[in-house]
């Protein structure tokens, strides 16, 4: 998911909940921007401190999606899934649609044991997911076992983007979730690595999936060698 233009770094300061109440909205927004900047740079622990400090402030809704992604980046998958389960109930269709993708990804990532049981669970979950975007519909169908990667790519190519950034973000989202499907549903790390490497030059630098993709490429290469 895109975070907009790259954020300028802000000076680190006291980010305890009590101090944030006393800060202006502008200051809190700058801290939120710094959290996103940290995540994009792969500094997930630093970002976590800021998201936690900003909870229960007037930015609670704005930080919800990046915070949930950050938990996944920190391999706190159950906590991330809990947050995305809540986001899937959002009245904002863009948020709920995106959360559904993460519910599928996290379910596959967390699962241990019988692959048949996982696929049955994903099929059941996907059957109850109503998403509005054709590309995200195709991703849901992929995880359900009723779709394929090519259908996702066709849906993305057919998108009417307002600008190139939107298209690159959609490709980045698709790259991440297709790769996750190959890794955690099909258990084909070789295909996943090839997929990530093939798409890496098409990624959006301000999408929070991008650092996760590059981290995965690094880890898969390490296992390969």
* Residue range 21-70, pLDDT digits in tens: 456 788 899 999 999 999 999 999 999 999 999 999 999 999 999 999 99
Q: How confident is the model at residue 9 (pLDDT cuts 50, 70, 90)?
A: very low
Q: Which helix H or strand E contains 135, and what residues bound it?
A: helix 134-144
Q: pLDDT digit string (tens) for 28-39? A: 999 999 999 999
Q: Take residue 202 and report the two structure tokens written for it.
A: 């098409």
- Taking a C-beta distance cutoff of 8 angstroms, is the pair 118, 108 a contact? yes
Q: Model pTM greater than 0.75?
A: yes
**Cross-strand pairs, 2:** 207
**Cross-strand pairs, 207:** 2
Long-range contacts formed by 20-23: CB under 8 A, 24+ apart? 20/53, 20/54, 20/57, 21/57
Q: Take residue 126 and report the two structure tokens written for it.
A: 């996907």
Region 68-96: what's the mean pLDDT? 98
Region 87-96: what's the mean pLDDT? 97
d(C-alpha 110, C-alpha 95), whole Å = 22
Burial 98-134 (b: 16+ CB within 10 A, else e): bbbbbbbbbbbbebeeeeeebbeebeebbeebebebe
Region 200-220: what's the mean pLDDT? 97
User: Please, which residues have CB within 8 angstroms of residue 88's CB and are 6 or more apart in sequence?
Assistant: 96, 99, 100, 103
- DSSP codes of every residue in 142-199: HHHTS--HHHHHHHHHT---SSHHHHHHHHHHHHHHHHHIIIIIS--HHHHHHHHHHH
Pick the residue with more confidence: 18 or 170?
170
pLDDT (0 to 100) of residue 12: 40
Q: Take residue 109 and report the two structure tokens written for it.
A: 């990532």
Q: What is the mean pLDDT of the chain?
A: 91
pLDDT (0 to 100) of residue 162: 86
Would you say residue 14 has pLDDT above 90?
A: no
């Amino acid at each position: 998911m895109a975070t907009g233009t790259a954020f300028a770094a802000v000076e680190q300061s006291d980010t305890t909940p009590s101090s944030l109440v006393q800060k202006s909205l502008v200051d809190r927004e700058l801290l939120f921007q710094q959290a996103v900047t940290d995540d994009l740079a792969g500094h997930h622990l630093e970002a976590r401190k800021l998201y936690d400090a900003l909870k229960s402030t007037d930015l609670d809704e704005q930080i919800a999606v990046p915070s949930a992604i950050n938990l996944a980046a920190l391999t706190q998958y159950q906590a991330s899934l809990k947050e995305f389960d809540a986001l899937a109930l959002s009245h904002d269709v863009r948020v709920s649609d995106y959360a559904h993708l993460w519910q599928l990804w996290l379910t596959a990532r967390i699962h241990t044991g019988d692959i048949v049981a996982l696929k049955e669970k994903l099929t059941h979950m996907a059957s109850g997911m109503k998403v509005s975007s054709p590309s995200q519909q195709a991703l849901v169908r992929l995880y359900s076992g009723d779709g394929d990667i090519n259908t996702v790519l066709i849906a993305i190519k057919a998108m009417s983007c307002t600008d190139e950034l939107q298209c690159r973000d959609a490709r980045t989202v698709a790259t991440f979730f297709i790769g996750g499907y190959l890794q955690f549903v099909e258990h084909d790390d070789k295909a996943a690595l090839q997929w990530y490497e093939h798409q890496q030059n098409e990624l959006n630098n301000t999408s929070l999936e991008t650092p996760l993709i590059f981290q995965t490429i690094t880890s898969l290469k390490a296992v390969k060698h």
